[in-house]
Amino acid sequence: MIQSDKGADPPDKKDMKLSTATNPQNGLSQILRLVLQELSLFYSRDVNGVCLLYDLLHSPWLQALLKIYDCLQEFKEKKLVPATPHAQALSYEVVELLRETPTSPEIQELRQMLQAPHFKASDFLVAKSIGPSFLLRLLYAGDKLVEVNGVSVEGLDPEQVIHILGSSDGTIRHVLIASLCTCHQVYVRAMTEYWPQEDPDIPCMDAGLPFQKGDILQIVDQNDALWWQARKISDPATCAGLVPSNHLLKRKQREFWWSQPYQPHTCLKSTLCEYCNCPTAGFRRSMRLCRRKSHLSPLHASVCCTGSCYSAVGAPYEEVVRYQRRPSDKYRLIVLMGPSGVGVNELRRQLIEFNPSHFQSAVPHTTRTKKSYEMNGREYHYVSKETFESLIYSHRMLEYGEYKGHLYGTSVDAVQTVLDERKICVMDLEPQDIQVVRTHELKPYVIFIKPSNMRCMKQSRKNAKIITDYFVDMKFKDEDLQEMENLAQRMETQFGQFFDHVIVNDSLHDACAQLLSAIQKAQEEPQWVPATWISSDTES
């Protein structure tokens, strides 16, 4: 109950001093101060209810809440960066300098501190002038808060620390030492996007961490069933923020899916329309097309609907680990992907031509009859329809399709043959087939070939020819280029989380150089791969 001190003198002005963090123009506590001033005029006259209102507005808890609100407002737009991102290098430098300085007890102490293993293992961070809400974003699970506004808080209970934070004037200068814990670090790839601003459930929007498909997140705290703390590894300067847990994000995805208007056969429609039989395509070019025109076999249907069917709403996070291929390991499969006509075949051709003893395509299977100048196992593996179908049903076909009444496709074994010869196998794939190749055996590295903008494409594709069903040499029309751009966008939106690298194919020469360098990095430098690929390695 609120006690009103009726008849007492109105509090003088010094009692009305509110948050110093208040913005004089907009601060809510500033408004409250003015209201209190007005009310104080009526206070002694005992106008009905004024005392009650006065006491309510003057109550410490309301003022504390307003103080927090103002702090949040004030720091909403501010970005925090560590005082230095090179703390470790700096500490080594200081140790070296101290070596050359005449020794004094203080210098000796400082040197010992800097060289102590726990200090070396930690990031030392001094953050200046921050609001309480931002403290949350700076702290990681296991962090040790050492000092707040010059007051040592080491050894204090969390409640005592919270009290010190609460009684600060809205600006906190704290020193913290990051976690010394070397426990298992969890990294995940975001398979969906998340925008805290659009999430009404998030407990503190300011503390939310937005992310996009494909972002690699370090999960620094998983203790809460609903909200984890994570940071983006691509942006080490940013602090950890709140992200929905796997369970919560999956629930949100489900709710979102169910809230969408009913679309009969969504998966069928999206696959056929976007990648297979789009009637507006007008031109469907090379042999790659036969796969797009594929009938929906049970295998195909099970993977085609990625992202569009409820059943395909998969895990929103995929646990990943850093993988460095050892020289004795087989090469990783290189998968090229892109909208039809963008230059996937051309790039693959140039790559193999550049170094045929290093790069190779897998020999495809076909059910068509062998021509006189062809050799079994060189152009194709010629097999019967029954054999081909049994390869499909036994999941030995990575991709396949029908063209002019014959089946064509690439088998796992054909790819393995190239890898066993210690060559780099380069294949192109439709995005809906991507899950089939994502195995620990093949460890595919997926490169998305993207068209540049229309203006550049018109220029670079002036003399380029496309292969269609009906015409072999047909120039690109504006609508072909526009369709290519639209399709590339849709592919990125729907499958971007699977792309390890993106190359814009504007100048063919530059794109080839980028492709070579990306492939070299994929084989020789550490990359993020699904954790299951590596645990399978260890088991086998």
> Residue numbers of the site for ligand ATP (CB under 6 A)?
285-286, 288, 338, 340-346, 460-461, 464-467, 505, 508, 511
What distances in angstroms separate CA 444 from CA 222, 426, 498, one per listed residue? 29, 10, 10
**Shortest separation between residue 180's beta carbon and ligand ATP, angstroms:** 51
**Shortest separation between residue 369's beta carbon and ligand ATP, angstroms:** 24
CA distance linking residue 540 with residue 538, whole number of Å: 6
Give the number of C-alpha atoms closer than 13 A to the C-alpha of residue 343, restricted to the C-beta side: 26
**Shortest separation between residue 175's beta carbon and ligand ATP, angstroms:** 54
| Residue number with CB closer to ligand ATP (406 or 440) | 406
Provide the 3-class DSSP secondary structure of residue 96: helix
Rounded to 5 degrees, what angle do the CA atoms 307, 308, 313 make? 50
Strand 381-382 and strand 465-466: the pairing is unpaired
| Residue number with CB closer to ligand ATP (320 or 344) | 344
CA distance linking residue 344 with residue 340, whole number of Å: 8
| Residue number with CB closer to ligand ATP (308 or 505) | 505
| Residue number with CB closer to ligand ATP (322 or 465) | 465
**Shortest separation between residue 116's beta carbon and ligand ATP, angstroms:** 56
| Residue number with CB closer to ligand ATP (318 or 433) | 433
| Residue number with CB closer to ligand ATP (346 or 402) | 346
| Residue number with CB closer to ligand ATP (231 or 348) | 348
The dihedral sign for the CA sequence 466, 467, 473, 478: negative
DSSP H or E stretch at residue 128? strand 124-130
**Shortest separation between residue 246's beta carbon and ligand ATP, angstroms:** 36
| Residue number with CB closer to ligand ATP (288 or 325) | 288
**Shortest separation between residue 478's beta carbon and ligand ATP, angstroms:** 15
CA distance linking residue 540 with residue 529, whole number of Å: 17
CB contact at 8 A, 132 and 168: yes
| Residue number with CB closer to ligand ATP (240 or 467) | 467
Angle between the N-to-C axes of helices 60-75 and 28-43, in degrees from 0 to 180, rounded to the nearest 10 = 150
Identify the DSSP state of 80: P
**Who's near 435: CB < 8 A, 6+ residues apart?**
303, 306
CA distance linking residue 41 with residue 18, whole number of Å: 19
Provide the 3-class DSSP secondary structure of residue 197: helix
| Residue number with CB closer to ligand ATP (265 or 475) | 475
CB contact at 8 A, 202 and 248: no
DSSP H or E stretch at residue 503? strand 501-504
CB contact at 8 A, 290 and 408: yes
**Shortest separation between residue 515's beta carbon and ligand ATP, angstroms:** 11
**Shortest separation between residue 485's beta carbon and ligand ATP, angstroms:** 13
For residue 332, give the nearest of 430, 415, 449 by alpha carbon. 415
| Residue number with CB closer to ligand ATP (51 or 272) | 272
Place of tokens 């991507």: 434
Quote helix, strand, coil % in the chain, to nearest 5.
40, 20, 40
DSSP H or E stretch at residue 33? helix 28-43
DSSP H or E stretch at residue 465? strand 465-466
Residue 361 CA, chain-centre distance (Å), reads 31
Residue 309 CA, chain-centre distance (Å), reads 22
**Shortest separation between residue 83's beta carbon and ligand ATP, angstroms:** 46
**Shortest separation between residue 173's beta carbon and ligand ATP, angstroms:** 55
**Shortest separation between residue 481's beta carbon and ligand ATP, angstroms:** 11
Please, what is the end-to-end C-alpha distance for the chain in angstroms? 69
Name the residue with the smallest CB distance to ligand ATP. 343
CA distance linking residue 412 with residue 398, whole number of Å: 6
Neighbours of 416 (CB within 10 A): 16
**Shortest separation between residue 381's beta carbon and ligand ATP, angstroms:** 21
| Residue number with CB closer to ligand ATP (244 or 409) | 409
| Residue number with CB closer to ligand ATP (39 or 334) | 334
**Shortest separation between residue 389's beta carbon and ligand ATP, angstroms:** 25
